[in-house]
Structure formats: C-alpha cells, structure tokens
A and B are shown apart, each in its own frame.
Chain A
Amino acid sequence: MNTGKTLAFHSYKGGTGKTTLVANLAATFAMMGMRVCLLDFDLYAPSLTAYFRKTPELFLNDVLAGDAKIIDVLVDVSSELGLKGKLFLGFSSPKKSDIYEIEILHDMKWQYAAIRRFLAAKKELFSEYEIDYVFLDTSPGIRYWALNTIATADFLFLLMKISDMDIIGTKRMIKDIYESLTELGSKYFIILNKVAGASPIHEFNVKEAKERMLWETEVKKDIGAEVIGSIPCFCDIQFDKHEFLCAINQPKHQFSRRLLEIANKIKGIG
C-alpha cells in the first residue's frame, strides 16, 4: 500500500502568503515527478479557485457532506502545466451559502461525520490513486476546520512572518495545539516567509543568506521549534496582480530556488 504523507500548511494569522507558497510548493513536488494532491481546506475563505482560475462543478464541501467522492472533485492540471509528475487539485466552494453552512449551520454530529468522510477520502487518495503527498491549505488561526485538517496531517508547517504579532501567536498555537497533536505522531516545523531585509533585490545583496540564517536561528531560539526554511520578501510576487506558479514559470527566480530547497528538506524528513 502507498504510504503517502499529508502536509498541512497553517498560520496564526492571514497574510503570511500561505496559499501562494503551498500552491508553488505542490507544483514543485509535481515538477520533481511526485504524485501530488493539493486540497483547499481554507473552507472559510477559499482562494484556490481564483488562484488556478478554475470553476469546478463539485467541491470538497460535497465530499464532506457525503454527496460526492473525492475523485469526482479532483481536477488534474498536470498536463496543462507540463509537469513531470501529477498535480490534482481539490477546491472548496467559494459560494457564500456554502461558507455560511460550514461555519454556522451544521451541528457537531455533522461535523464529526464530515471529519470521518475526509479521513476516508484521504485514505482513498493514498491507496487507490497512489498519491505521494497530500497538501492541505488550511484556514489561518484556531478555527474549527483548521484544527480538523491539521490534526489529520503527518507534518505541520507553520508559516509566519518576522513580526511580534506572528511570533507571539505562533508560540501560543504551538503550546495550545501543535504540541498536543504530536501525540498523534505528527511533527511540526516553521517556515519563515516574507523575511524583510533578506530580499536579494539584486545580485550585490551579499547579506541575504546571512540575514535569513540569522532570523532562522533567532526564531528557533525564541519559539523552540525547528525552522525548515525561510523565504525572503519578494515584491514582484507579493504585489503581483496574479502571481501564478512562479516555481514553474520562473524556475530561476530566487523564490523558486528557495522553494526547491524547502521541498528537498521536506522530502528528506518525510
């Protein structure tokens, strides 16, 4: 049986660049020849439909409700992106009524049944579709479905920026949630994103690597969790009207290179 891994990407607050990073990282893995499935579990603020500009008929919400099978929901974008491996996408519904439903309408009994369905769907992905990695893009903060998704992951990646708000919040989340989830055998790591002062604006920014290393050591010491990588702040990515899979389209970009480093590290630990 395929022993695929589930990687959940989470952050204490929004705006850490989680969706951009997770989409690019999933694409990097697929580019390396892996069979990857990226699921949009930011059920409260879905964004992958806009990112990939897709309008699917079925969503992950239907899987959770028991109205659809996971395979009916997935969209294979491997060939259109020219990937060596496979990249399947599972979108969550951006409809207002669906977001409202997941947030408020359902009772706990439904929610637990939905978690069971999600676990079964994930199992199906590994066993029947031989997926190597399931990437979960979660909602930020301590929200119901954020918890549900990170609890099911083998590896948790906590994205954060170098700011006091992020550091304090991340520390609290590690203490309240992540450490508790390690009972399940999961491991958690930090990814620093949008690291200020480490941006290689041009080739003469010789301090870039040193600056990143400095922050990695500092955060590791402060938070007490392993930092698996750091990505500098790139204005062209952050402020692009529609950044789309830089990792594939601009493989020589510093952002893509850093992601490749992180991808290799993740492969190493997984």
Chain B
Amino acid sequence: MIWGFLTHGFRISGKKFLAVLFLYFPSFAWFILFQQFLMSLIQDLFSEGFISNFWMNIGGALFYISIICSAIIGSMISEKLRRRRFLELWIFLGVFTTLLFMVNQGLLFLLFISVLGGVSFGLGFPYCLAFFAESTNVEERARVAGALIFTTFFSIILCIIVSTGLQCGLIEYVFICALLRSISFFSILIDPHERIVCKERGWMTVFTTRGLGLYYLSWLMFSVAAGIFTIVELPDYLQTESISVLKSVFLYLGVILSSLFSGFAADHFGRKRTIMFGSIILGISYTVFSIATDEPSFLLTRIISGVAWGIIFVAYMLTVVGDLATTCSKEKFYAIGVVVPIIVFMVFQSFSGTFTPSVPIGAISAILSILLFISVIPLLYAPETLPIDKIRQRRFEKHLRKLKKLVKEERNRSDS
C-alpha cells in the first residue's frame, strides 16, 4: 500500500523503471553483502583478534581502493564502449567473482577476490547511477531513488533472513549472492541501454559545476562523522555474536523506513532541506547512543541511524548529483560525487579498528556534533537542485487540494 501510494503518478514508464531498478538494486545489495561476507571469511582465518583485524582491513582496503580506481576508469570507458556489452561484462564479472569464493578460501586468494570484487562493483556502478539519472526527470527523481533504495535494502534483509533461516553454508550463501547479482541481466533484456549522443565532458566540468563542491564538502564531513563513530568503543553488553547481525538488520530497517518518505520529501520540499533533516537525524542517533544503556536502546539508535542514512542515500547519493550533472558524462559526476566519498568513509572505517584505539562515546560526542553541525553549513550556501518552479507548483497544487477539501466539507455540512 505504501509502495503504491508513493510510486503513484510516476512519469517514468514501467519498463524504464524496471530497467533502472533491476540494474541498481542487485548491484548495490550485492556490494553490501559481498563485503560483509568477504570480511567475515578473512576474519575467520585467524583466531587472534589483532591479526584478524589487520588482514580484514588489508582486504577491505584492497576492495575499496580497487573500487575507487575502477570507478574512475569505468566512468571514462563506459562512455566510449557499447553500453550493453559493457554491462554484460560487468554483471558477468560480478557473478563470476562471487562464485570464486567456492574455489579457495585461503588468505592470498581472498585478497585477490577483494581486488576483483572491487573492480566488479566500481567499474559499472557510476554508469548504473548515470542510467538512473538519465531515465528520470527532476521532479520525480528523488521518489524513484527512494524506491530503488527501498528495494535494495529490502532485498538485503530478505537475503539475510533466507540465509540465516535456512542456516546456509558457504556454497548456498555464494549462490544467493550470485543469483542476486545476476538479476541485473534483466535490465539488459528490458532496455536497450543506448548511449545518448552528445559531447563528452571532461573531469574539469565535474569540478567546476556550481554548487556541487558544496554538496561534496557536506557529504565528506557527514562521512567523516560517520567514520569517527565506527571507532567508538562498544559497551560490554553489545559484544555478543547475535548483536553484530542485529545491528546491521536494524540499520537496514531504518533505511527501508525512511527511503520512500525521504524521496517524497526531497521531491516536494527540496533536496537541501531533506539532506539537512538527515544530518539532524544522524546527530540525534549519536546522542541517543551516548545515553543508551541496554540492547534495545542500542538497536533503537541503529534504526535512527538507518533513517538518516536512508535520507542521505536517496537525497544525496542518487538525487542531487543526478540533478547537477550535465546531460553527458553523468558517470563522471557520480564517480566523484558518490562513489569516492563513500569509499573515503569506508577506508576510514576499515583502518580504524586496527590503527586507532576505540574510545568511549562521551569523549567524541562533542566532535561528532560539531562535525554534523559544520556539515550543514555548506548546504546553506548550496543551490537547491529541485527547481523552484516545481516547488511552487507543488505548493500550489497542495493549496488547491486543501481548498477543495475545505469547500467540500463546508458544502457537506450545509447539505446535512
């Protein structure tokens, strides 16, 4: 019902929407599941905590760095190649890399899979996002983004439930991931993925686009705040096996909760306000965490964090960059604007467990608050990417609806 309500009135054709959905959600969901699986496999190789963390972070770093490099390369070559062929190769590489887990689980091989996994995500993901931006128009972009994020995290939770419920072993889990990734092939079947004929833009265009830098800056600070949070020392009651699964599930639930509504908000009230709201929610989640005393209150903070991330994924990662990108070379905008800041944050997170000591939340809550506060400042100066006439048009339509409701109520009262 909620889905129907919030996707109602989309101008994007059903076919195009499905093509975007099938391309985006399996890739992003696969990325999250793949990295978690990879890390857990590396971690299981060692019994000693420090060494296991060290190699896990090396694996993570290789994975993320290969994403950065391949995203930059991918955003350049995808404009030159036949898109369908490029996508076929990219999706096939993802499925193939997943299946490689069945061959060997030794450390060196896992590090090799880290690199290959990073490439099989980073290479085509900027195009994936660019295809979303090309297929949507500005007034409904955020709502479509909301639907994509909703489906992504819903599918992740579904995979976790299925794999946990069926007590899946390595082979079954690998198959689930491979199957998930291969769903993207449907996108190629549905849509021709023809290239837009236009003049290719250089990297300088990305850096000189008005306002984008301010959004990048805010996003980076937001990421750094989230990164710092990862070095927070968890209290004893959270050092259990079950909580590590639950904390991810609750985070994803939060994302699911906010994704559709944040898309709706970003299309109706503007991107800036929605992103600012996301920053505030994240700040609230940190505050609640600092006073959380037991498992349920901790899980509540995870849901609140998820809500904030849902808003940021929808409004920033997908929508704002798509709004500001030029018609051509959208891949480059997404590569810099989205993939790189995420990776910067993840690299930070990846190294934090090994090289930085865990600190109590009380010690860094002030820093986090300041960072989140500062992350809002660039947004104050950034341009609103939802055209003002669309906002006015929506206000006008809303007023007209309310007016009609008032008059109807009055007439019904008179009649009765």
Contact = CB atoms under 8 A, between A and B. Distances in A.
Interface of A: 112, 115-116, 119-120, 123, 142, 144, 147-148, 151-152, 177, 180-181, 183-185
B404 A151 contact: yes
Contacts of B399: 144, 147
Interface of B: 396, 399-400, 402-404, 406-408, 410-411, 414
Given A123-B414, A184-B411, A116 B406 contact: yes
Contact of A177 (B400, B402, B406, B411): B400
A118 B396 CA distance: 20
Contact of A123 (B396, B400, B402, B410): B410
Nearest to B400: A180
Nearest to B393: A176
A119 B407 contact: yes
B406 A112 contact: yes
Given A147-B399, A148-B403, 8 more contacts: A115-B403, A123-B410, A144-B399, A152-B407, A180-B400, A180-B404, A184-B407, A184-B411
A233 B406 CA distance: 39
A181 B400 CA distance: 9
5 contacts: A112-B406, A115-B403, A119-B406, A147-B399, A184-B408
A3 to B, nearest CB: 9
Contacts of B410: 116, 119-120, 123
B406 A184 contact: no
Nearest to B399: A147
Contacts of B404: 151, 180-181, 183-184
A185 B407 CA distance: 11
A62 B410 CA distance: 21
B410 to A, nearest CB: 4
Contacts of A147: 399-400, 403
A190 B162 CA distance: 65
Contacts of A184: 404, 407-408, 411
B297 to A, nearest CB: 36
Contacts of B408: 184
A177 to B, nearest CB: 7
A184 B400 CA distance: 12
A183 B404 CA distance: 8
Nearest to B410: A119
8 tightest Cβ-Cβ pairs between the two chains A and B: A119-B410, A151-B403, A151-B407, A184-B407, A152-B407, A115-B406, A184-B404, A180-B400
Contacts of B407: 119, 151-152, 184
Contacts of B396: 142
Contacts of B403: 115, 147-148, 151
Contacts of A142: 396
Contacts of B400: 147, 151, 177, 180
Highest count of chain A CB atoms <10 Å: which of B396, B407, B408: B407
Contacts of B411: 184-185
Contacts of A183: 404
Contacts of A177: 400
A112 B414 contact: no
A102 to B, nearest CB: 15
A71 to B, nearest CB: 19
A147 B404 CA distance: 10
Nearest to A185: B411
Nearest to B396: A142
A141 B157 CA distance: 52
A235 B409 CA distance: 45
Contacts of B402: 112
A123 B399 CA distance: 22
Count chain A CB atoms within 10 A of each CB in B399, B402, B403, B411 and give the residue with the most: B403
A119 B400 CA distance: 16
Contacts of A116: 406, 410
A180 B399 CA distance: 12
A106 B408 CA distance: 24
A120 B396 CA distance: 24
B347 to A, nearest CB: 46
A205 to B, nearest CB: 44
Nearest to A115: B406
A148 B414 CA distance: 19
A143 B399 CA distance: 11
Nearest to A153: B407
A21 to B, nearest CB: 25
A185 B414 CA distance: 14
A181 B259 CA distance: 34
Contacts of A185: 411
